[in-house]
Amino acid sequence: MPTPSIGPGPAAVDYTSLSKSQLYFSFSLVTSLFFLWGLSYGLLDVLNKHFLTVFGLTKTKSTLLQFAYFVSYLVVAPPMGVFMRRYGYKKGIHIGLGLFSIGAVLFWPAAKYEQYGMFVAFTFVSASGLATLETAANSYITILGPPSHAAMRLTLAQAFNGIATVIGPQIAANTFFNGDNQNNLGTVQYVYLALACFSALLNIGIAFATLPEVKQAVSGDQEERVAKQSIWKQYHTLFGAAAQFFYVGAQVAVASFTIFYITEQPGISPAYDSATAANMFSGCQAVFTFGRFLGVAYLRWIDPSFALFINGIGLVIFSILTATIPGKGGIACLFMIYLFESVCYPVIFSVATQNLGIHAKIGSGIVALGVSGGAAYPSIQGAVSDAVSTWRSFFIPLTGFVPLLCYGGVMWVINSRKYHGRLTIWTSQTNVNVEEITGQYTPEVGARDDIEKVASLEHDEKPVVEFRERV
């Protein structure tokens, strides 16, 4: 299937043409978007428990919020990737913030009339805005600097998303479950009205800010090769989207049932109440955020696909232990799941969208589509939880962590085979400045300072530039 013809899009520049101040400002501005959707997501899982109490829902039915939230990525992310290729990142961000504000404001009448169906519908509206923001922001951060450090940059930006997911449950614990509020929806109205106002102010600020349109930095040969191919021929992107689907499904299932897991954990007497469990959930998110900042440090030196493989192993081990060890030991293993989850999403995204050239925005939409896995897994785990127990239901996320492990392992092997050895660039030009060539060319793996540059004159005195990995 060919990629649709949608026009060249707005004029874009390479990140190397931007000053450091422009890079830092753009990074900071877009990172503020990560905080917004992290706050919204942090509230979502606590709302799940709150609505179960207020509306008397089953656990399976309470997961309709997660379904509405994450199915929006399936519906919205791919077309928004096409839209942003034509009209640019900034217009996509405006649309995303606008949709989120509308959805958050509509929580007011939903709470006033106490209609669960309205909450589900308006969650879809607000999440459509977040899906648009995520498609734009993740892609923008990955191309806002050297390709070799894309995973590290995105993990850093996502760390601020993690901070917001810590704050969200704290807000919920001190509002939704405070006194008489645990049996009504009054505080939900004001919390989401505040989010709508924050989003609107952010939208106004971005309208007046200068946000350069940046294109993905790839070599000339790579750009030409990718331009001749359909996005559907970029298999690392397609399999990355599949891995993202399974991983996000597992991550969302874990988050959705963390509070249930803590309050219903066998071997603990007296059982933890909902407010205490919400605070412990916030602690899980704090561990998750710590893992992202830790990832920023080690992703500078480790192949991102290898890091994904190692974290996948940790997730498989601790998901099994969480589902089999009762009491506080099981809760400790649950905390470890959050630690190993920390870098997985940004690393999958950066690995799956590398070397896409003109397809970068559409590819980002396809990978963001994988987030829709969060719509499927909570319902499945909810059914198992209702039929068996919440404790045993934590075997369900295991089925999402295994594909993640496989994708990381396969990409690590492919990258290792592809780049061990020597890459030679030939040029027919004479009197070429070798340092100029090596300075402009960025290999597909390793930062420029991680490779050794060797130049020689061979084959009829044509300059040859070779890149060899340091040993």
Residue 427 confidence (pLDDT): 42
Report residue 119 CA to chain centroid gap.
24
Q: How many CA atoms lie within 13 A of 185 on its CB side?
A: 22
Query: What amino acid occupies position 282?
Result: S
The share of the chain scoring above pLDDT 90, in percent, equals 30
Give the separation between CA 119 and CA 419, rounded to whole angstroms.
50
**Per residue in 261-315, pLDDT tens?**
998 888 777 778 877 888 898 889 889 989 999 999 898 888 899 999 999 999 9
Angle between helices 20-55 and 64-87 (to 10 degrees): 150
Residue 217 confidence (pLDDT): 55
Average pLDDT of the chain, as a whole number? 80
Is 50 exceeded by the pLDDT of residue 432?
A: no
Residue 451 confidence (pLDDT): 39
Name the residue with higher pLDDT: 358 or 386: 386
- Residues β-bridged to residue 466: 424, 454
Structure pTM?
0.74
Report residue 160 CA to chain centroid gap.
12
Pick the CATH number of 15-417 from 2.60.40.3140, 1.10.3720.10, 1.20.1250.20, 3.40.50.1820: 1.20.1250.20
Residue 282 confidence (pLDDT): 83
**Per residue in 245-272, pLDDT tens?**
999 999 989 988 898 899 888 877 777 8
Q: Mean of the pLDDT values across residues 141-146?
A: 84
Tell me the CA end-to-end span of the chain in Å, nearest whole number. Answer: 42
Torsion of CA 4, 5, 6, 11, to 10 degrees: 120
For the chain, which residues make up each domain, given as ranges? 15-417, 421-469
Residue 443 confidence (pLDDT): 43
Is 60 exceeded by the pLDDT of residue 38?
A: yes
